[in-house]
Amino acid sequence: MYKIIIPDYVMEDIYKIKEYIFRMSFSIDTANKIYNEIMANILTLKVFPSAYPIFKNNLRVLTVRKKYRIFYKINELNKEVTVYYIFWTEQDYNSIVH
């Protein structure tokens, strides 16, 4: 099993997504459901980190609900997965992700 590392700035982005969904839907249940789904997908990387394609520079991408892209790298030596970014699929992440 791999250790999952989610830096604070990524967690802030995930919380911002949750807040946005709540503001748009007026439903805390919907916001919590999507938040939990994002986190559950990230946690699958503990077991199957290589299951998702490489985007560039060994940065892999996991897509959740066809709406959110999670970018991460695998450190095989330390058995760690570090999440670097989460974006809405509509965002221009190509110029940001390196």
CATH code for the domain in which residue 14 is found: 3.30.2310.20
pTM: 0.87
60 assigned to some structural domain: yes
95 assigned to some structural domain: no
58 assigned to some structural domain: yes
pLDDT digits (tens, 9 = 90+) for 43-80: 999 999 999 999 888 999 999 988 899 999 999 999 99
Q: Which residues of the chain form beta strands (DSSP E)?
A: 3-5, 54-56, 59-64, 68-75, 80-88
Domain coverage including residue 78: 3-88
Q: Note whether 63 and 53 are within 8 A (CB).
A: no
98 assigned to some structural domain: no
d(Cα 83, Cα 80) in Å, to the nearest integer? 10
Number of domains in the chain: 1
How many residues would you count in the chain? Answer: 98
pLDDT reading at 18 higher than 80: yes
94 assigned to some structural domain: no
39 assigned to some structural domain: yes
